Structure 1
Amino acid sequence: MTISNQLLLRFLTLKLYNKTQKTQTKTGEQKMYKEKDVIIAGKKQKKKIPIEEPTSLFINGKHFKTFMITPEMKKEFTIGHLICEGLVSKPKEIESIDIEGNEINAILKGYKQQPSQGLIVSGCGGGTNYLDEENLPKIKNTKKFNLKQINQFMIEVLETGKSSGLHSSGIKSQTQNFQKIIKDIGRHNTIDKIVGAAIKQKINLKNCYIVSTGRMSSDMALKCAKAGIPIAGSHRSLTTLAIEIGEKTNLTILGKLSKPKKTEIYTNPNQIK
Structure 2
Amino acid sequence: MQGLELTSASSKAMRVWSDGRVEEITERYPLEKAYKLTASGRLVALVSLLPTLLREFACGFLVTEGLSTPGSIRSVSVDGLELKVEVEDPAALDSKLSFYRAVSRLIRAPCSSLSPETLLLPLEAKVREVKLSFKVTPSDVWSAISWLRKSKLYRELGMVHVCAIAKPGAEAPMVIAEDVGRHSAVDKAVGYLVLNRIADRELMLCVSGRLTGDLVAKAARAGIPIVASISGPTSTGVEIARKAGVTLIGFARGARRLTVYTGEERIAI
For normalisation by structure 2, the TM-score amounts to 0.80
Per the alignment, in what secondary structure is the counterpart of residue 112 of structure 1?
Answer: helix
What is the distance in 2 between the residues matched to 1:92 and 1:184?
Answer: 25
- The letter for the 2-side match of 1:240 is S
What is the distance in 2 between the residues matched to 1:131 and 1:269?
Answer: 25
Q: 1:238 maps to what in 2?
A: 233
Q: Quick check: 243-252 or 191-200, which moved more? A: 191-200
Does the CA-based 8 Å contact 1:255-1:265 persist in structure 2?
A: yes
Per the alignment, in what secondary structure is the counterpart of residue 105 of structure 1?
Answer: strand
Q: 2:120 maps to what in 1?
A: 130
Does the CA-based 8 Å contact 2:30-2:180 persist in structure 1?
A: yes
Q: 2:14 maps to what in 1?
A: 39
Q: Which runs of 4+ in 1 moved over 6 A?
A: none
What is the distance in 2 between the residues matched to 1:135 and 1:206?
Answer: 18
Q: 1:79 to 1:135 in 2, by over 3 A?
A: closer
Match of 2:143 among 152, 156, 167: 152
Q: 1:208 to 1:187 in 2, by over 3 A?
A: same
Match of 2:217 among 201, 218, 222: 222
What is the distance in 2 between the residues matched to 1:239 and 1:105?
Answer: 33
- The letter for the 2-side match of 1:106 is V
- Offset, 1:256: 0.5
Q: 1:59 maps to what in 2?
A: 39
Q: 1:171 maps to what in 2?
A: 165
What is the distance in 2 between the residues matched to 1:189 and 1:134?
Answer: 19
Does the CA-based 8 Å contact 1:205-1:228 persist in structure 2?
A: no
Task: Give unmatched runs, 5+ long, in structure 2.
Answer: 17-21, 112-117
Does the CA-based 8 Å contact 1:65-1:117 persist in structure 2?
A: no
- Offset, 1:48: 1.3
Does the CA-based 8 Å contact 2:72-2:88 persist in structure 1?
A: yes
**RMSD over aligned Cα, in angstroms?**
2.7
Task: Give unmatched runs, 5+ long, in structure 1.
Answer: 1-24
> How do 1:1-273 residues align onto structure 2 when only pairs under 5 Å count?
31-41=6-16, 42-89=22-69, 91-110=70-89, 111-113=92-94, 114-115=97-98, 117=101, 129-131=119-121, 135-160=126-151, 161-164=154-157, 165-174=159-168, 178-273=173-268
